[in-house]
Amino acid sequence: MDKRIVFVTGAGRGSGEAIARRFLSEGAVVAASDLKKPEWDAGEYEDKLLRYELDVSDEDAVRRVIADVNAKTGGINVLVNNAGAAKPDCPIADETKDSLERLFRINLEGVFFTVREVTGYLQKNKKAGAIINIASVAGKNGFPKSSLYAATKAAVIGFTRCLAAELGPDDITVNAICPGSVDTPMLAGVIDGIARRTGMSFEEAKKMMASGIPMQRLQTPDDVAALCLFLASDGARNISGESMNLDGGSVRD
Ligand SMILES: NC(=O)c1ccc[n+]([C@@H]2O[C@H](COP(=O)([O-])OP(=O)(O)OC[C@H]3O[C@@H](n4cnc5c(N)ncnc54)[C@H](O)[C@@H]3O)[C@@H](O)[C@H]2O)c1
């Protein structure tokens, strides 16, 4: 990865942190961004890490930050759109227009803004690149009580497919990763909801969730990071337009 300049959104914790750390450990230069500047210790890789405060739904800020990263590094060639928000365990009767707008602003508009900036730069400079959008199996499979979140992730999958067709001739791959249940603070909100409804403890609810997965375990942030690494590698230059499930075999499409 030593020729990769990687921009990761939502990199302050959870999968985003694992993705940024993995690329660093493989030799890439990484720009890690989140609502608050990521603060984790990069140890021996500190000199290859840039940290940014960035709300991906702020169009001007996205433009400014990406221009700054490009100026400081020679140009982003791997974009990982990982930032995302959910409203777990919410029946349709309790959903609101505000929450619809908020989820689309973060989960779709945020992806659109970063992709437009990064691919515009790549096209202008005739450089190859890899765009990786973190969607969700929720965008493919129906789950109860996550309708608006699922709609945003289905939108990301559609966005990814169109752009793969459009940007392939410019040597830019565009793929989505569809995780199932990744053990992060976001999933803790879902598990909390199950525990509340069923009277189980948090740990019991978590165990039950894992037991419903063919591989009998939750996914980890490192699983997501490993697939990002592959999709950004030379070995994946002929893979584009995919929405790869990373869910231990739950959704088999
Ligand atoms: N955890 C799961 O089970 C799961 C499953 C499928 C998909 N995903 C997706 O994986 C991605 C990572 O989620 P996670 O599980 O690590 O969750 P998380 O909540 O632990 O981390 C999400 C990160 O995104 C950041 N973020 C939220 N809104 C933002 C904004 N407007 N601008 C910039 N950053 C923002 C948060 O600050 C946080 O650091 C998300 O896109 C999520 O939808 C997660």
Most distant CA pair in the chain, distance = 57
- CA dihedral angle for residue 5, residue 10, residue 12, residue 13, rounded to 10 degrees: -110
Look at residues 85, 115, 88, 91 and name the one whose alpha carbon lies nearest to residue 103: 85
Q: How far is the CA of 10 from the centre of ligand 1 (A)?
A: 6
Ordered DSSP codes for 186-206: HHHHHHHHHHHHH---HHHHH
Ligand 1 within 6 A of 13 CB?
Answer: yes
Q: Look at phi and psi of residue 195 and say left if phi exceeds 0, alpha if psi is from -120 to 50, else beta.
A: alpha
Q: Which mutation among 184, 190, 217, 223 tests ligand 1's pocket best, with the greatest number of atoms within 8 A of CB?
A: 184
Residue 142: per-residue pLDDT: 83
Q: Are 164 and 176 in contact (CB under 8 A)?
A: no
Check pocket membership of 139 for ligand 1, CB cut-off 6 A. Answer: no
Residue pLDDT, tens place only, 12-42: 999 999 999 999 999 999 999 999 999 999 9
Closest to 16 (Cα-Cα) out of 132, 171, 167: 132
Answer yes or no: are the C-beta atoms of 138 and 150 closer than 8 Å: yes
Distance 34 CA to ligand 1 centre (A): 10
pLDDT of residue 209: 96
Lookup: tokens for 7: 């921009």
Q: Provide the angle, in degrees to the nearest 10, between the axes of the packed helices 147-167 and 110-124.
A: 10
Stretches in the chain below the pLDDT threshold 70: none
16 lines ligand 1 (CB under 6 A): yes
pLDDT score recorded for residue 88? 85
Contact assessment for residue 143 and residue 94, using Cβ atoms and an 8 Å cutoff? no
The per-residue pLDDT for 66 is 98
224 CA from centroid of ligand 1 (Å): 12
In the chain, what are the domain boundaries?
A: 5-181+219-246
Find the catalytic residue in 45, 52, 121, 149.
Answer: 149
Which of 65, 182, 219, 243 has most ligand 1 atoms within 8 Å of its beta carbon, as the pocket-test mutant? Answer: 182
- Ligand 1 contact, 35 CB (< 6 A): yes
Identify the pLDDT of residue 89: 86
**pLDDT value at residue 7:** 98
Record the tokens describing residue 198, joined without a space: 């069923």
By residue count, the chain amounts to 253
Distance CA(92)–CA(182), nearest Å, equals: 24
This prediction has a pTM of: 0.98
Say yes or no: CB of residue 83 within 6 Å of ligand 1.
yes
> Is residue 52 annotated as a catalytic residue, yes or no?
no
- CA torsion sign, 242 to 110 to 108 to 36? positive
pLDDT at 225: 98
Query: Which of these CATH numbers, 3.90.79.10, 3.40.50.720, 3.20.20.70, 1.10.357.10, describes 5-181+219-246?
Result: 3.40.50.720
